[in-house]
Structure 1
Amino acid sequence: MTPQSAMREDMLARLIAQAASEGSDLVTLRAIVEESSEVAAMRVLDRLGLADARAQDDIDELRELLKAWRDAKASAWKAAVEWVTRGFLALLLVGIAMRLGVPELLK
């Protein structure tokens, strides 16, 4: 548990104690909800291994890798379409040449 999450949990405990002893007004309830949301978010980040100082760098690197993957995938599809188109055009030219009798002219 990080010191920041411990402070948030302490704040949440104090807010809940305040609500229990003094009654809960709207401001206190909103503060409880906000603090409990922050505590939950910190727990999730901690469980995912993203609560340390290097987490932002890790996420930035993952985004760069994902972008590179998407770019490579798009380039691969583009290259595949180009090769299929070239193959089709080559077959079309061979068919036209056969139809016109070019092999007989070359003999």
Structure 2
Amino acid sequence: MSGPVLPDTGVRIIHVDELKAALERAAEMGARKALEGVGLHDAEAGKDVRDLRELLDAWRSARSTVWRTILKVSTTAALVALGAGLAVKLKIGG
């Protein structure tokens, strides 16, 4: 279904539908190659992506918990130090 060849150039004129089909095939081949390159080309790919998302969510949650814990421990330590300093200053407890 290819069209005529332009003289002196060797360029073949093709119909827009033929070009679209060729581009679609090329895009699909490129996507398959890219997925294969990162190991997501088999039937387990969807499960792998879901597992990675769950792992990332767990990491974010753990990171958030660590920062909250550090903040609580720091605040508690500062208040204990302030209380101890105040007790020494007021000569309380000993």
* Same fold at TM > 0.5: yes
Q: Within 5 Å, which residues of 2 pair with 1:13-32?
A: 18=1, 21-22=2-3, 23-32=13-22
Q: Please, which of 29, 54, 60 is the counterpart of residue 39 of structure 1?
A: 29
Matched, 1:82 2:72: yes
Q: Could you say which residue in structure 2 is the equivalent of 1:4?
A: none
Shift of residue 98 of structure 1?
1.1
Matched, 1:70 2:83: no
Q: Could you say which residue in structure 2 is the equivalent of 1:99?
A: 89
TM-score (normalised: structure 1) = 0.72
TM-score (normalised: structure 2) = 0.81
> Which fold has the larger relative contact order, with Cα–Cα distance below 8 Å and residues 6 or more apart in sequence?
1
Give the letter aligned to residue 71 of structure 2: V
Q: Within 5 Å, which residues of 2 pair with 1:1-16?
A: none
Uncovered stretches (5+) of structure 1, i.e. residues with no partner: 1-17
Shift of residue 62 of structure 1?
1.0
Shift of residue 99 of structure 1?
1.2
Q: Percent identity?
A: 34
**1:102 aligned counterpart, secondary structure:** coil
Q: State the alpha-carbon separation in 1 of the partners of residues 85 and 24 from structure 2.
A: 72
